[in-house]
Amino acid sequence: MAEITAASVKELRERTGAGMMDCKKALAENNGDMEASIDWLRAKGLAAAAKKAGRTAAEGLVGVAVEGTKGAAVEVNSETDFVAKNEQFQDFVKAVSALALNANGDIDALKAAQYPGAGTVEEQLTANIATIGENQSLRRTRVLEVAEGVVVSYVHNAVAPNMGKIGVLVALESAANTDTLAGLGKQLAMHIAAANPLALDADGLDADMLARERAIAIEKANESGKPANIVEKMVDGTMAKFAKENALLSQLFVMDGKTPVADVVAQAGKEAGSPIVLKDYVRFQLGEGIEKEESDFAAEVAAAAGVKKDEPVA
């Protein structure tokens, strides 16, 4: 068997764009023959997958799974919304959502997990890229768990069971009746999907975000021309309002538009005869935070025709 050197692995990787371990395996399978290794990677779909990896994947699906007192959410991205309707892609999201329950929010652990019937999750994702023909990525995952109570899942506008563009988990810790908790959890999850809180409570709001909001508030207040002590009060009022509107527990419940979520939970606990604690939540919205590439379709057509954008295509 030919010796597989670091230089040959590097060359193969540069020529195909495939992963280092895939290149090493290809050379081993082909006795170090570079061209045969390239063909081997192409046949496996690995070279093609690597070429697609540079394309922006901001569509796809958010999946959720609940088992007992534990719930998981994942986001799997694709380039186009069309892939979200693909049965193979949906099967992958469903399987990975279930596997995420044991990954405890660790994306690398989830990628390394054994996929049902075929290698690891990451290897199956690579195979999906090759067969479906679009770049895809396993972007993020989170897990919620309670010692006693429920974790409730909700998907807004689901395209398939437990899959859609907005996925929510709600963790309620309580000794109250499970059905009661599930009903409350479903309403809270719907509120979270609609209201998009930024943190559970005011203390959980991001410090950098608050600093930016305060700077904006100071600039606006200064424009009023009022004395410094009044400006300070105006800024404090603006920041208090921002925290109230963006922290889940202080948001007004969307079901009635007037009761803070914290009061809704407290009242539900009284009625159930056992305190209820809204321990945590997860809200994944598909593609949030991903900068999408803006494509100029006219320019693409012109380029394909070999002319400038504003020239007629004869």
pLDDT in tens, 275-295: 999 999 999 999 887 665 544
* pLDDT at residue 1, as a whole number: 59
For tokens 């208090």, what's the residue? 240
Average pLDDT taken over every residue of the chain: 87
Q: Given this structure, which CATH class describes domain 59-195+271-285?
A: alpha beta
Banded pLDDT at 172 (limits 50, 70, 90): very high
Q: Which of 45-54, 77-86, 144-153 has the lowest mean pLDDT?
A: 45-54
Angle, nearest 10°, between helix axes 261-272 and 178-195?
170
Fold observed for domain 6-48: Helicase, Ruva Protein; domain 3 (1.10.8)
Q: Tell me the pLDDT tens digit for each residue of 243-287.
A: 999 999 999 999 999 999 999 999 999 999 999 999 999 999 998
* pLDDT at residue 82, as a whole number: 86
* pLDDT at residue 309, as a whole number: 46
* pLDDT at residue 307, as a whole number: 46
Q: Tell me the pLDDT tens digit for each residue of 62-118.
A: 999 999 999 999 999 988 888 888 899 999 999 999 999 999 999 999 999 999 987
64 touches 275 (CB < 8 A):
no
Q: What is the pTM of this model?
A: 0.74
Domain borders along the chain are: 6-48, 59-195+271-285, 206-245
* pLDDT at residue 134, as a whole number: 81
Q: Which of 180-194, 213-227, 295-309 has the lowest mean pLDDT?
A: 295-309
